[in-house]
Amino acid sequence: IDEVSQSLVAMLQSELAALNAAVETHDLQGTIQNTLRLTLFLFEAGEDPSARNRPRVREVVSPDIRIAKPPMALLLRYLITPWGGTESTRHTLLGRAMQALYDHPIISGSQLVGSLATEAQALKITLAPLSLEERTRVWYSVQKPYRLSVSYEVRVVNMDSQVFDRARPVRERVLDSALPEVTV
C-alpha cells in the first residue's frame, strides 16, 4: 500500500514540478506547513468487489505444484488537498493535479516505486467524487475544517496471499473399464 502511495506522489511531483509545490502523503493530523503543497490522504482501503472470485493461482515449483489463493485485490481511496499560497494558487495546483491524473490514468512499469516496478502491476486511477455528507464525514473524522479537495480511487492493487498448498503432480493413472460381474 505504501508503494502505491509513493508511486502516486512520484508521478504527481514530476507532473507538478513547474509549480514548485511539494507533494506528500499525509494523515491530516497535527499541523500542515503553510507552504505550497499537495497532500494525499489515504482515507479508505478495501477489497475491490469487481475482482472477487478469481481462480486459485497454480505455480510449478519442482517437484511440486503450489496452489495459492488468488491475490487480494485492493481498492484504495485518496483525498487530494492543496495547501498554502493564495486561493488562486491552490485552485491552480488542484487543477494541475487533476489534469495530471486525467492524462495518466494508468501507472505501470518504471512509473511504479519499489517492488511494484518489478511486477506486472498496473494502477488505474479514477476520479471518485464524494457526496457532501461523505466529505463532511472525512473532514470531521480528522477534526479539521473543510477544505477544497477531490477524491480518487486507485485499483487494482494485488496483494499476494501468504497461504498456499503443495500438491504432487499425477505421474500415472490407471483406468479400468471392466464392469463387475453380475450373477442372477
Q: Which of 56-60, 83-87, 167-171, 173-177 has the highest mean pLDDT?
A: 83-87
Cell numbers at 1, concatenated: 500500500
Backbone angles phi, psi at 106, to 5 degrees: -130, 125
Question: How high is the mean pLDDT of the chain?
Answer: 86
Measured CA to CA, the distance from residue 112 to residue 73 in angstroms comes to 17
* Letter string b/e over residues 16-50, b meaning 16 or more CB atoms within 10 A of that residue's CB: beebebbbeebebeeebeeebbbbbbbbeeeebee
In this structure, are residues 132 and 146 in contact, taking their beta carbons and an 8 Å threshold? Answer: no
Instruction: Encode pLDDT of 109-139 as tens digits.
Output: 889 988 888 877 889 999 999 998 998 888 8
Cell numbers at 150, concatenated: 477531490
The pairing of beta strand 72-83 with beta strand 64-68? unpaired
- Bond from prior residue into 63 cis (ω within 30 degrees of 0): yes
